[in-house]
Amino acid sequence: MKVIFTCGGTAGHVNPALALAGLMKKKDPRTEILFVGTPGGMERKLAAKAGYPYESVEVSSFSRSMKIEGIRHNLRAAKNLVTARRQAEAILKSFGPDLVVGTGGYASYPMIKYAAKAGIPTAVHESNMVPGLTTKMLEGSADRIMVGFEECRQHYKHPEKICVTGTPVRGDFFDLTKEQAKEKLGVNDGRPLIVSFWGSLGASYMNEKMAEFFALEAKTEPFHHIHAMGSAGWPRLVEWCRPYGLMLRDHPSLDVREYIYDMAVAMRAADLVICRAGASTISELTALAVPAIIVPSPYVTNNHQEKNARILERHGGACVMLEPESSGKKLFELASAILSDPKRQA
């Protein structure tokens, strides 16, 4: 069987595709997989790291703004769709897929749209509580729409197409035990491990707050800490740490990176995760049963991250702190309180 996975924008859109692709290859090694995204999107790097071939289509997002700049942006996006159609049809003809699966992001629109027109079976996965713009645009075209939560059904015009699957988690998250993962990372000296990240692209506002967090934990290094700055925050790391007189190289327990490529190992080893509330992250937290402090991004459509986070909070798996109320000190104090209370941690 030949399968195209099309996705992009953030790791939250790419990881479900990687999880499903990995399972398909495990079930039948003869399965041929092709990833399709944008030319410069991070999906290219993630697909290559996983060993999958990659093709690209030139497509850009649409703006919801009706201001002049928003209209200009949408005109450019519409122009790109003409190019994307030719590229998508060429990829479909060359690869000859038996199935095309879109897992989110505007990059998936042309592949699903023109695969459906060509009579190729298609499916879309929407992991958030509220469907994104791309999913809404593809609802009429796709054969199946897979959703993360039962409550999602109310948001769709074609309930007969909906299948509640949850959000896939890659199999490599379960390759190691917690103890084995800690040993692999070299954090098995008895101190707990915090893993933190604000999304694959980073979040400047929250990363700046993390500098205060790092400074507080650097005083005694009570735990190990792996933090991903993301591509947006990484260049400003030294600048944000400077007011605290913090030199990270002097504190080996603080492992601050641009991106956590071994996320499966890191999260498996974690005793506490501090993060946003993307649907993939929520699924990974619940699958691994790791306690979390969640600061939902307030910059997303329909405030869907807070809606995702509140589900976990209601079941006692996370503490939710809204971004305007957060600070490095508050996050540090809450993390310390959870890690010093085994009952609360459980």
Q: What is the pLDDT of residue 93?
A: 97
Distance, in Å, from the CA atom of 51 to the CA atom of 48, rounded to the nearest integer, reads: 5
Q: If we measure between CA atoms, which residue out of 205, 215, 178 comes closest to residue 291? A: 178
Distance, in Å, from the CA atom of 268 to the CA atom of 250, rounded to the nearest integer, reads: 26
pLDDT tens digit sequence for 106-159: 889 999 999 999 999 999 999 887 788 888 889 999 999 999 877 788 889 988
Residue 323 has pLDDT above 80, yes or no: yes
pLDDT tens digit sequence for 194-212: 999 997 555 888 999 999 9
**pLDDT top residue among 275 and 278:** 275
Distance, in Å, from the CA atom of 342 to the CA atom of 346, rounded to the nearest integer, reads: 6
Q: What is the pLDDT of residue 169?
A: 86
Tell me what percent of the residues of the chain surpass a pLDDT of 90: 66
pLDDT tens digit sequence for 174-183: 999 999 999 9
Task: Count other C-beta atoms under 10 Å from residue 99's C-beta.
Answer: 16
Task: Count other C-beta atoms under 10 Å from residue 174's C-beta.
Answer: 12
Q: What is the pLDDT of residue 73?
A: 47
The CA-atom distances, in angstroms, between 237 and each of 84, 200, 282 are: 37, 16, 26
Q: Which tokens sit at 197? A: 């990240």
Mean pLDDT of 37-59: 92
Residue 77 has pLDDT above 60, yes or no: no
Q: What is the pLDDT of residue 231?
A: 84
* 255: β partners: 226
Instruction: Name the average pLDDT for the chain.
Output: 90
Q: If we measure between CA atoms, which residue out of 135, 172, 157 comes closest to residue 7? A: 135
Q: Which tokens sit at 326? A: 């957060």
Q: What is the pLDDT of residue 168?
A: 84
Residue 81 has pLDDT above 60, yes or no: yes
* 193: β partners: 224
